[in-house]
Amino acid sequence: MAEDKPDPPDLPKTLLKPLERQSPDRLDDVSAYARELARWKRAERERELAEARERESITDDEETDLRERGISTDPQEYEGVATSGAYITIKETKPGYEYYYWQWREGDSWKNEYIAPVDPKSTID
């Protein structure tokens, strides 16, 4: 009894059609390359995230200032903030208006959540 052809994943036809024309050996090569490429891309994303965190995270003094103002620096205390990989950064929403935000990656996009103004005398618009 013949085996049924596997259902294709949700891929664009421009990728599926050429794959379907390949030999089993070539498909094995493509599969191995795709696994390695995925591994490399994940590692690259992690490296980029670590660089962004290093470049954009607040200083220890700024974190101490937040805690002294009674503002939590624990992501678990903020609804919707990732508990892994989130870090605090400063964003300037318009010239002269700086705010602390949580920032983290979610898939291929960046997410952020407001924390507080950098200058306690400022308010968010």
Tens of pLDDT, residues 54-87: 898 999 999 999 999 999 999 999 999 998 889 9
Give the three-state DSSP class for 59. Answer: coil
Q: Measured at the alpha carbon of residue 69, what is the angle toward residues 65 and 73, in degrees to the nearest 5? A: 70
- Residue 125 has what pLDDT? 47
User: How far is it, in rounded angstroms, from Cα 102 to Cα 115?
Assistant: 7
Mean pLDDT along residues 78-102: 92
- pLDDT tens column, 10-25: 989 999 999 999 999 9
For residues 62, 54, 79 and 90, what is the CA-based torsion angle, rounded to 10 degrees? 50
pLDDT value of position 122: 63
3 state SS of 94: strand
Confidence of residue 123 (pLDDT cuts 50, 70, 90): low
Comparing 90 with 124, the larger pLDDT belongs to: 90
Q: Which two tokens stand for residue 7?
A: 């259902």
Going 105 to 110 to 111 to 116, the CA torsion angle's sign is: positive
Determine how many CB atoms are found less than 10 A away from the CB of residue 82: 17
Instruction: Supply the pLDDT for residue 13.
Output: 92
Model confidence, pTM: 0.66
